[in-house]
Amino acid sequence: MKKLLLLLLAVLLPLVVLLTTIQLIVNNDGFFAQQYIINEVPAATQIELSELLRITDEIQAYLFGRRPDFLIEGVVNGVQRQVFNAREIAHMKDVQLLFAKGVRLRNLSAVIVILLLLWLWLKDRAAFYRALWVSAVVFFAAAVLGSLLLYLDFNRYFVLFHEIFFDNDLWILDPQTSILIRMVPLNFFMQTVKQLGILTALQMLLLGILGYGGQALAGRRKAGS
């Protein structure tokens, strides 16, 4: 039974950290501003940086259910207009649903993780620390494999992701007509995944160190007694 709980934690704990980090990145205006500058998005979209960031705030609000629709107005090439076309609006509805499912999955997983860790802490401190260590090991094993695949062919797995999570082709946007794809080109997603990997890895590293140190301390105490 305890091994099953450790396995469950090894899967759910990294998932909670990963999904939480995605939410933090998506809500990070500083990251978006940096990427807009690097990718020369103001020139590509004919939208001033300050206006891009205001539009980004509206997108963030929509993704996390704080805005009822994606009918966002903005100044494009000096003209006040609806920023996104019908295809982009339809695609972002799918994206919003995906985000909502991700938040629900994260919240449910977080409750399970907290309850299991609390139970282990009260019943078996050594198993508690072992759960943290095993979770970190599982994460880094998966991260190494995932990083290798993305390094070899990011575009292939970017497309595969969309084919798995979307049941239509609305995500295929034309850069000639789509402001959305010019706002977040492929390099934006590459940098987002890189940022996600680094931040998640740092958090899992800290949990792994805590788990390893706790096991070592528990072992010394047991030996001393």
pLDDT digits (tens, 9 = 90+) for 155-210: 999 999 999 999 999 999 999 999 999 999 999 999 999 999 999 999 999 999 99
Distance of CA 48 to the CA centre of its chain: 27
Confidence class for position 3, pLDDT limits 50, 70, 90: confident
The pLDDT mean for the chain works out to 94
- Compute the average pLDDT of residues 87-99: 98
pLDDT digits (tens, 9 = 90+) for 28-83: 999 999 999 999 999 999 999 999 999 999 999 999 999 999 999 999 999 999 99
| Euclidean distance between CA atoms 19 and 112, whole angstroms | 15
Residues 6+ apart with CB under 8 A from 128: 117, 120, 121, 214
pLDDT digits (tens, 9 = 90+) for 113-127: 999 999 999 988 888
pLDDT at 140 over 90: yes
- CA atoms in the 13 A half-sphere facing the CB of 135: 32
Does pTM surpass 0.75?
Answer: yes
Q: At what angle do helices 2-26 and 86-123 cross, to 10 degrees?
A: 140
Residue 44 buriedness (CB in 10 A; 0-12 / 13-18 / 19+) = middle
